[in-house]
Amino acid sequence: MLAALDRWAPLLREVEAQPGPPDGGEALDAIGWHLVETSDLSEEQIRMAYGKHLDQPENQRMTTGQRIRMESRNLGREEGIRQGRVEGQTWAAHSLLRLLQRRFGELPNHLQERVRAAGLADLERWTDRVLDATSLAAVFVD
């Protein structure tokens, strides 16, 4: 794809120079964002290619719609990360409960709730103790 941008250099310069609506900068923005959204190229790679071939690549700007799409993508990515952490913590709690039950038998409700409400650091610490602990109390000693 970057090689294609190199081949398109004359066309990109011509688009950049065009006056009138949409001006060349807006058209280049649209091309760049289209490439970011439909290819494996990053925004930085597009900027570098534009910088290599255009007279004024620093003047490239995003339209409001493009800025909103980018912010939405970033928010979606952050939400995905948060959701992944929650799912990972839920999985860790579930796994610890299974290990505890296999090792020590049926667990009291208050311990099940404590495990489900615990943070990842506690879950990891308790999981590390499961193999060596001689009792449930030894797993949860603080």
pTM over 0.85: no
C-alpha 116: how far from chain center: 26
pLDDT, one tens digit per residue, over 62-111 is 566 666 777 788 888 888 888 999 999 999 999 999 999 999 999 999 99
Burial level of 4, CB count in 10 A (0-12/13-18/19+)?
exposed
Please report the beta strands in the chain, taking only residues with DSSP state E, as ranges in sequence order. Answer: none
Residue 26's pLDDT is what? 72
Residue with the two structure tokens 């039950």: 101
CA 17 – CA 27 distance, rounded (Å): 10
pLDDT, one tens digit per residue, over 99-139 is 999 999 999 999 999 999 999 999 999 999 998 999 999 99
